[in-house]
Each structure stands twice: as structure tokens, then as C-alpha cells.
Amino acid sequence: FEKTTLKIIRDKYEQGTALTAVTAYDYSSAIHVDQADIDILLVGDSASMVIHGHDTTLPITLEEMLVHCRSVSRGAKKAFLVGDIPFGSYESDDEHLLKAAIRILKEGGMHAVKLEGGGNLRVSSVRKLNQAGIAVMGHIGLTPQSVSLFGGFRPQGNNARAAVRLVEQAIELQDAGCFSIVLECLPDCVSAAITSSVNIPTIGIGAGSSTNGQILVYHDLLGFLQHPHHAKVTPKFCKQYAQVGKVINDAMLHFKNDVATGVFPGALFSPYILKLHEREIFV
Ligand code: KIV
Ligand code: NA
């Protein structure tokens, strides 16, 4: 098989082939994403919400992100692996950021990092990371690490001034060296304006159909969390391609019922009977 490299991503972009990206957080989800030949696998800090159960992406630590990165890198062999730099790792100084990014590559086994936001500080961070030999993915629009500033998870870029600023930020991030930019929760026309203003691939989530690719969170794509009190973590713009949560719930109840009624393990799954079967086969 062929490993997805930045060159392959670049070639697909230039050929106009839509790029696919999905998040994963552990060994088994990484295998699922990898086996489907998804181009980019993101170990997102959305793990804070869908894995750790926090209300935002802010509480997850670098150490926790590294555990997810290492698990994913053991399962994914083909996808281009990107690790989110968690909140609190790049706000203070570039030295801090550089150390975090290096750990995500060296210890986490990722091929690149992603950081949120635009503006002078981010632009300088992207430059520093590139100088250190680290590929960087940008992320603008609804940047969940800034939820405190936004006052909730709400769509961005819905006035002309904000839209113009987003286009400027995208160009600045590109010029600083980002290989791609995630656009989250933007009107289609703003995504289209950004996508046509840069010559690196834009990957959208809740950002319409004008981007060069799409990304979804693993659990949202699969319909993993189907319990009413978990509804808050599945954004409206996510298409659910399965109801895996329902499959799991049903299987759990089935197991519970089988044990209660003695159907499981029963005769068929008793180790002694299995041995007899093996002997019958092998003798
Ligand atoms: O953490 C994440 O899952 C992300 C994607 C939604 C882009 O940043
Ligand atoms: Na993220």
C-alpha cells in the first residue's frame, strides 16, 4: 500500500480530487479510518468531548493527546496523521509550542500538527514550526478552543467584515506555510471565497460544499452517541452515516438478556465442548 504523504495530498488537490478527513482517537478507530483509505486522519482535541466527556475542547492536556496519538499511530498505516495541539500549548510562547509540537511528532507518531486561529501570533507560530521542520494545518472559523470568546459554539463569518477577515487570515496562514486549512462552521459563500483565495486545500466541517475536502468527527459520522443526554456533542451539520450507537445499545441489551436467560454461554460457547470439536476436526 501507499502511505499518504503531503505530496499525494497536494497532487489530489491539484487534480481537483476531493480530500477526505476523519478523526480517530485510539487503535481500533484508527484502523477503521485507515482501512477506508481516508486521506487525513486527525487526532482531534474533540477527544476532550467525545472521549473524555468534557463540554469543551479546553480541558484536554498534551499528555492525554499524546496517549491518543500513540494509540492511533499503532493502528493507522496509510493515512496522513495530524495531531491537534491542545489549548494552553501555544498561547504563552513559541518555545512552549515548539516543544509540544515536537512531542506530538516524536512521541505521538504524527506527521503534522494542527493549530487553531489566525492573526499575528499564529502566523509567527506557523513560521517557527515550519522552520523546525514541522508541517502545520491551520483551522479558522469556529475554533472551539476560543469558545470562551465566542460565547458558545456558533457559526462564524456571518457579516462582511468577519468574512473579509477570514479570507485575510487564510491567506496569511498559507503564506506562513500551512499545507492546508480547516474551515469550520462558515457560510458556503465565505468558504468559497477563502477556497478561491488560497492555493492550499481547504477542508470543511459545517462549511458548505465549496471546500477542497470534508472532515467529520468519528463519533458524529458513525452516530456513536445515541443517548439523549449526549445529543449536545453532535453538531447539527453532521451527517450520520450509521447508527452505531444503536447497534451497540442493542447488542448490550441482547448480551444482558442472554446471560439472564442462560442462552449465553450455553453449550456452544463452553470451552470443553469447543475442545471436543477441535479434536473431532483434528483427529
Ligand atoms: O478536534 C477536531 O475534531 C477538529 C475537527 C472538527 C476539525 O478540530
Ligand atoms: Na480540534
Phi–psi pair at 191, nearest 5 degrees: -60, -40
Looking at the CA of residue 45, tell me the nearest atom of ligand 1. Answer: 1
pLDDT band at 276 (very low <50, low <70, confident <90, very high): low
Consecutive H or E run containing 213: strand 213-216
Same domain? 36 vs 140: yes
Q: Is residue 164 part of a domain?
A: yes
* 265 cis-preceded (ω within 30 degrees of 0): yes
Q: Is the ipTM of this complex over 0.95?
A: yes
Of 7-11, 86-90, 274-278, the least confident: 274-278
108 and 228 in one domain? yes
141 and 178, same domain (yes or no): yes
pLDDT value at position 228? 60
Atom 4 of ligand 1, nearest CA residue? 44
Nearest CA to ligand 1 atom 1: 44
* Length of the chain as a residue count: 283
In a domain, 213, yes or no: yes
Cα(253) to centroid of ligand 1, in Å? Answer: 32
Give the nearest ligand 1 atom to 46 CA.
1
Mutate to test the pocket of ligand 1, among 42, 185, 236 (most ligand atoms within 8 A of CB): 42
Q: Which domain holds residue 93?
A: 6-242
Helix, strand or coil, per DSSP, at residue 242 = coil
Residues 120-147 have pLDDT tens digits of: 999 999 999 999 999 999 999 999 999 9
Is 1 inside a domain boundary?
A: no
Q: Does residue 179 sit within a domain? A: yes
237 and 255 together in one domain: no
Report if residue 150 sits inside a domain: yes
Same domain, 96 and 230: yes
CATH number at residue 24: 3.20.20.60
Please check whether residues 136 and 266 belong to one and the same domain. no
Specify whether 118 is located in the same domain as 257: no
Ligand 1 atom nearest 184 alpha carbon:
7
Residues with CB under 6 A from ligand 1: 23, 42, 44-46, 84, 139, 182, 205, 215, 217
Decide if 184 is catalytic. Answer: yes
- 95 shares its domain with 47: yes
Instruction: Mark whether 219 and 262 lie in a shared domain.
Output: no
Domains in the chain, number: 2
Within this chain, do residues 75 and 160 fall inside the same structural domain, yes or no?
Answer: yes
Q: pLDDT per residue over 47-106, tens digit each?
A: 999 999 999 999 999 999 999 999 999 999 999 999 999 999 876 688 899 999 999 999
Question: Are residues 194 and 274 located together in one domain of the fold?
Answer: no
CA 46 to ligand 1 centroid distance, Å: 6
Provide the whole-model pTM: 0.93
Same structural domain for residues 101 and 174? Answer: yes
Distances (CA, A) of 128 to 7, 61, 95: 22, 22, 9
